[in-house]
Structure 1
């Protein structure tokens, strides 16, 4: 009698398919949104002060986003899912608990 599933098959998974999509070590969408907001600040106000403030804001926020990306690259998605599911999962021990 032969066993069909007796041999394990190896499947290669490329790293590009399993790694999160990061830009500058942080979440791609957040880095691009921060860069867009900074560029809008710089080019709408058009003063040297706004340029310094815009560049400073971008550097500081990208640094914070990189720290967030090092802690958990999928933190933004997890947080958004947490906010979306909040009405469904109440922080109670039992459905019969008195409020």
Structure 2
């Protein structure tokens, strides 16, 4: 009996991107830029808001091009940071028994 194959369509498997970047980050940066522009109502605030919008859009597009799920990876890293403190260092001095245990086996034996 042959196995039945079920096609997985790309449209149901795509990442949620908006304007080339992560949907939530792009919309949040647009909201912040618009709030800055409309609440300050100053030429400097308008210029800064537009620069903020296009700069963040550029950064989010690069981030999505590198990895569309980078935001999720970053937030998971922030959650795990308190549970996995860095303890490894290249300057650690191992005892003699530890050095024997972790040496690469010689090819002659």
TM class, shorter-chain normalised? 0.7 to 0.9
Runs (4 or more) in structure 1 with deviation over 6 Å come to none
Shifted more, 17-26 versus 7-16: the winner is: 7-16
User: Matched residues in 2 for 1:49 and 1:8: separation?
Assistant: 65
- The number of equivalent residue pairs is 88
Task: Please give the TM-score of this superposition, normalised by the length of structure 1.
Answer: 0.79
Question: Does residue 89 of the first structure (1) align with residue 108 of the second (2)?
Answer: no
Q: Can you list the C-alpha shifts for 1:4-39, whole angstroms capped at 9, x where unaligned?
A: xx5222112221221110001110000000000000
Q: Which protein has the larger Cα radius of gyration, Structure 1 or Structure 2? A: 2
Aligned pair partner of 2:41 in 36, 46, 66: 46
Question: Does residue 33 of the first structure (1) align with residue 41 of the second (2)?
Answer: no
Note the residue ranges of structure 1 that are not aligned, 5 or more in a row: 1-5, 94-99
Task: Please give the TM-score of this superposition, normalised by the length of structure 2.
Answer: 0.72
